[in-house]
Amino acid sequence: MTERVKKRKGLKIFLIILLTLVLIGALMLVLYYELPYRAVGNDREKLTAIPFASAGDVKKVYDDFAGYNYSPTLDPHEIFSIFKGATSSNDIWVSDEMAPGSGTGDHSVTNVQVEGIDEADIVKTDGKYIYAANDYKLYILETDNGAIGKLSSVRLPGDNAELYVYGDVMVITYTYSGNSGKTTSSGYGFSVYSIENREAPRLIRTVEHDGEYAETRLKDGVIYYMVRAYFYGELPEVYVSATGYDGNIPYDKGFYFDGLPCFRSTVIGKIDLNDATRDDFRCYVGVGENMYMSDNYVYLTTTDTSGLYRTNGLRTYYDVNGTATTRVARFKLDDLTFVGAGEVKGNVKDRYSLDEYNGNLRIATTVNNAGSAVYVLGSDMSLIGSVENIAPGESIYSVRFNGDTATIVTFLQTDPVFKVDLSDPASPKVSEGLKKDGVSYYLHYIEGTDYVIGLGRNTSGGAELGLEVVLFDMSGGEAEIINAVIIGSTYGYSETLYDPRGILYDKENDMFGFSATVYDSKGNLKQSYYIFGFNDGILKLRATISHDASLDDRYEIIDGDGYYTENYAVKRAVRIGDYVYALSNRVVTSHRISANFEQVSVAAE
């Protein structure tokens, strides 16, 4: 064979190979774009909680999912540094007006979602004593007809402290980071104190769980909690002082769900304030973002964003018309066992988006560009009714359920207020909606009436300005505005827009109060506690309470640097008898309700 023939043959083979590669590439390109697409995710007909068989099984379950390109959408919560120990001090909140007396026993309570289920907060009262957590200490104050005296203080065991008071027991919840002396990472703790002697609180026991975020409730002397943590092939650490246990949660208290991503775990636990031997916890891998609790169940929601993506095995892309889903897992309160789950379209805003009523669970969600929806799950967690396409293109800003009715506020440019009729769970019906300027972040039903108070912002062309308090009449087919009050025409902020526990609600004494920071009529930034009345069928401002301080008083040196602090900002107010007690980090004042909230006493650092 001549050299020329060999070259021609080689060229022919090369061209054949090249053509084959081009054809294969073209075919792959066609398949890349033309193969049928499906939503990313797993088909799950029914969730089952599977117990881990061993410590090695925990690691294996994680490894099996390590390559799965999916992670639930979560809101990380920052964890701060820790302080440890308990002290007794007399350096704050001392009043020489204290007189003997036992108090009234008639008092306000923390504003909660579900009646009869308490929520932790930075201030509590039992009708005689006020318990208040500030920067680094918890103070127990005694009150008597407006007079204020400090009995004792406890050094907070960590940061972001909140508390419960149940009879003669006080519980401080807190976050920690680094090595707390027990667990070695970041997490959430509970310190239980005996306060039979209010002048000398005594630490009884401590429980600490590693994790990034927690929620708690108190019902009938038992604290129920969830602690969420990242999962890296071993269950989170726990410290229980009552038993001395300090280490990873035992595998026989851990569970996973076949087919669910295993990147986060949630501990569900309970602390019995009457009997430490009845404390318990379980760890579930793959569920848990928001917590809603009813009289019999804990519900954990988890957002599944896989529906926002589509794949054909070769190509995956974000689908603007895709839909995230919310998975709801249900657990029994008595033994913390998993007893079923349901799934609905869309995202829940917060725990107020869920409500259990007559054995059914109602859920309000925002469904991408399709607007909002309300779904009803039956006793077996299967879907039995729904109403969809509420305000397409808008998102839910607030929801409140009340018996057979729900009120939903959405927002884009205006604030539609929708009334949802849930009297037939299988066929919910929604009103056309009341359109108004402004947007309500929080809704509060006034029991025994058809009135709802909305707390939010006034708006102009979609821009949010000052704060707005509005009274709605829900007696008809549509919501009607009775009146609205604007606080701060150009700027207003209140933490209660996002944390309604700070609201003082007292129907009997005609009070709806909250802290706020606004620009006053002179353009000065001012912080106050505003108390509104509503019992006359119209909203009216009854009182404005401020702990005014000069710039010199507000200026403090912290770690060598100077700051203007908010230590004189009134954060909470409670009622005991005929008096409202307003609390900032540095001052407590009392105000007599029957005397137009005249200040009676002041106790300061």
Q: Does 329 map to a domain?
A: yes
Residue 453 has pLDDT above 80, yes or no: yes
Q: Does 100 map to a domain?
A: no
Binning pLDDT at 50, 70 and 90, where does residue 96 land? very low
Residue type at 363 in one-letter notation: I
Instruction: Give residues with Cβ within 8 angstroms of 43, minimum separation 6.
Output: 259
pLDDT at 70: 43
Residue 312 has pLDDT above 60, yes or no: no
Which of helix, strand or coil describes residue 501?
A: helix
Asked if 211 contacts 229 with a C-beta cutoff of 8 angstroms, the reply is: yes
Instruction: Give residues with Cβ within 8 angstroms of 18, minimum separation 6.
Output: none
Residue 304 has pLDDT above 70, yes or no: yes
Mean of pLDDT over the chain: 84
Average pLDDT value for residue range 260-271: 89
The end-to-end CA distance of the chain, in Å, is 107
pLDDT at 262: 78
How far apart CA 120 and CA 297 sit, in angstroms, is 19
Asked if 176 contacts 208 with a C-beta cutoff of 8 angstroms, the reply is: yes
CA nearest neighbour of 416 among 395, 442, 439, 434: 434
- Is the Cα dihedral 515, 521, 526, 528 positive or negative? negative
Asked if 497 contacts 475 with a C-beta cutoff of 8 angstroms, the reply is: no
Binning pLDDT at 50, 70 and 90, where does residue 323 land? confident
Binning pLDDT at 50, 70 and 90, where does residue 7 land? low
Residue 83 has pLDDT above 80, yes or no: no
User: Six-digit token pair at 242?
Assistant: 């009552």
In this predicted structure, which of 286-290, 378-382, 541-545 has the lowest mean pLDDT?
286-290
Q: Does 540 map to a domain?
A: no
Q: Does 317 map to a domain?
A: yes
Q: Does 141 map to a domain?
A: no
Average pLDDT value for residue range 190-196: 97
Average pLDDT value for residue range 585-595: 95
CATH of the domain at 363: 2.40.10.480
Structural domain of 308 = 304-435
Average pLDDT value for residue range 1-11: 60
pLDDT at 462: 63
Average pLDDT value for residue range 1-18: 63
Higher-pLDDT residue of 409 and 604 is 409
Number of domains forming the structure of the chain: 1
Asked if 485 contacts 468 with a C-beta cutoff of 8 angstroms, the reply is: yes
Q: Does 6 map to a domain?
A: no
pLDDT at 40: 47
Strand residue runs (E) in 35-95: 38-39, 49-51
Q: Distance from CA of residue 232 to its chain's centroid?
A: 25
Give pLDDT tens digits for 491-539.
889 999 999 999 999 999 999 999 999 887 777 788 999 999 999 889 9
pLDDT at 30: 56
pLDDT at 183: 53
Asked if 308 contacts 323 with a C-beta cutoff of 8 angstroms, the reply is: yes
pLDDT at 561: 58
What burial letters (b/e) apply to 191-203, b meaning 16+ CB within 10 Å?
A: bbbebeebeebee
Strand duo 280-285 + 254-257: pairing: parallel
Q: Does 417 map to a domain?
A: yes
Asked if 192 contacts 273 with a C-beta cutoff of 8 angstroms, the reply is: yes
pLDDT at 576: 98
pLDDT at 93: 38
Give pLDDT tens digits for 404-428.
999 999 987 666 899 999 999 999 9
Asked if 566 contacts 517 with a C-beta cutoff of 8 angstroms, the reply is: no
CA nearest neighbour of 80 among 170, 176, 189, 222: 176
Q: Does 399 map to a domain?
A: yes
In this predicted structure, which of 185-199, 349-363, 385-399, 536-550 has the lowest mean pLDDT?
536-550
pLDDT at 25: 63
In this predicted structure, which of 237-251, 370-384, 549-563 has the lowest mean pLDDT?
549-563
User: Six-digit token pair at 349?
Assistant: 């805003």
Residue 48 has pLDDT above 90, yes or no: no
In this predicted structure, which of 198-212, 249-263, 552-566 has the lowest mean pLDDT?
552-566
Average pLDDT value for residue range 246-273: 91
Binning pLDDT at 50, 70 and 90, where does residue 286 land? confident
